Amino acid sequence: SSDLTQPPSVSVSPGQTATITCSGDKLRNKYVSWYQQKPGQSPVLVMFHDTKRPSGIPARFSGSNSGNTATLTISGTQAMDEADYHCQAWDSSTASMFGGGTKLTVL
Amino acid sequence: QVQLVQSGAELKKPGASVKISCKASNYTLTMYGITWVRQAPGQGLEWMGWISGYNGKTDYAQKFEGRVTMTTDTSTRTASMELRSLRSDDTAVYYCAKSDYYDTSGYYAYWGQGTLVSVSS
């Protein structure tokens, strides 16, 4: 089990907006990152510090963190976005944690 | 380009130990940390612990305390993770990842390719 809760699966039609949530106690007091993982591959960072996109990540990816819930939003979802998405939370302490992961299906 | 290259797949018997290495290149290991994450088959990511490349400080997930040791060797630019008393539920892909800070785990912009550890009698 994880202290961060994600929906196991989310489905979206191509071109629509996908929303993936990550819930945890006082999550707003932590930094949240998001990772995309395709089958057989290592995770890829798509969002850090709640709202920042690494270089090379398309602008259709955005993030937010408020209260006890962080959200990864993919606008104009494309077939290539189909993957597992994992949230991660950390703060000034050295420990960290991941959510259980969400399988995004684009159909 | 930052690279993390991990050692190869391992097959271990229950009760044995495994040590995985992670060789860093194109960045200064002492300025950042290394985090270890594992993923059991069909499961999510699990944070195992972190080590500072600066001073060797470690922080292990409570679940692994007493069973895991993380080290770095700055002369060879290699981080290592040893897990002891292996059980079948330790079967997983183990990843090393570069922490973006030297004093906290932070987030991970670079990952190794993963090392499959299979535990079976």
The predicted-structure confidence for B60-73, as pLDDT tens digits, reads as follows 999 999 999 999 99
Q: For residue A11, what are its two tokens?
A: 């489905």
Q: What is the pLDDT of residue B110?
A: 97
Among B54, B63, B107, B110, most A C-beta atoms within 10 A, so best to mutate, is B107
**B27 contacts chain A (CB < 8 A):** no
Q: What is the pLDDT of residue B60?
A: 94
CB-CB under 8 Å, B95 with A88: no
Distance, in angstroms, between A22 CA and closest chain B CA?
13
**A15 contacts chain B (CB < 8 A):** no
Q: What is the pLDDT of residue A2?
A: 60
Q: Using CA atoms, how far apart are residues A55 and A58, in angstroms rounded to an integer? A: 8
Give every CB contact of residue A98 below 8 A, 6+ residues apart in sequence: A2, A4, A86, A87, A88, B37, B44, B45, B46, B47
Residue pair A79/A14 in contact by the 8 Å Cβ criterion:
yes
Q: Give the mean model confidence (pLDDT) for residues B40-64.
A: 95
Residues in chain B with CB shorter than 8 Å from the CB of A54 are: 109
Q: What is the pLDDT of residue B103?
A: 82
Chain B contacts in chain A segment 29-48 (CB below 8 A) = 31, 33, 35, 37, 42-45, 48
Structure confidence by residue, pLDDT tens digits, A75-97: 999 999 999 999 999 887 768 99
CB-CB under 8 Å, A35 with B44: no
**A24 contacts chain B (CB < 8 A):** no
Distance, in angstroms, between A42 CA and closest chain B CA?
6
A31, A54, A97 ranked by CB distance to B47: nearest: A97
Give chain A's residues under pLDDT 50.
none
Q: Using CA atoms, how far apart are residues A52 and B100, in angstroms rounded to an integer? A: 14
Q: Using CA atoms, how far apart are residues B111 and B98, in angstroms rounded to an integer? A: 6
Q: What is the pLDDT of residue B93?
A: 98
DSSP H or E segment with residue B82: strand B78-83
Structure confidence by residue, pLDDT tens digits, B61-111: 999 999 999 999 999 999 999 999 999 999 999 999 999 888 888 999 999
